[in-house]
Amino acid sequence: MSTSRPSPAMLMVIVMLTLVLLVGGCAPTHLVVTEDPQLIGIRAVYVPLFGSLDPHPEAAIVMTAALKAQLKADGVFQVVEDPQFAEASFKGTVGKWTWGGLDWQGARSSEVSGSLQLLDPADQPLWIAAAVQRDPWRLVAHGLFARPPSLLAPLWARTVLQQMPGYAVKGRPNTLTGRERRLSPPES
Q: How far is CA 30 from the centre of its chain?
A: 11
Whether 105 is in a domain gets the answer yes
pLDDT in tens, 33-66: 554 556 778 999 999 999 988 788 899 999 999 9
The reported pTM is 0.70
Whether 180 is in a domain gets the answer no
Q: How many domains does the chain have?
A: 1
Q: What is the CATH number of the domain that holds 92?
A: 3.40.50.10610
The sign one gets for the Cα dihedral 180, 48, 75, 34 is positive
Closest CA to 175 of 71, 43, 77, 82: 71
Whether 184 is in a domain gets the answer no
pLDDT in tens, 61-79: 999 999 999 999 999 999 9
Whether 171 is in a domain gets the answer no
Domain of residue 110 covers 27-162
CA distances from 73 to 19, 69, 103, 156, 164 (A): 36, 6, 38, 15, 16
Buried b (16+ CB within 10 A) or exposed e, 12-33: eeeeeeeeeeeeebeeebeeeb
The sign one gets for the Cα dihedral 109, 59, 90, 155 is negative
pLDDT at position 186: 40
Is-contact 150 58, C-beta < 8 A?
yes
CA distances from 147 to 43, 87, 127 (A): 35, 37, 31
Whether 77 is in a domain gets the answer yes
Q: How confident is the model at residue 24 (pLDDT cuts 50, 70, 90)?
A: very low
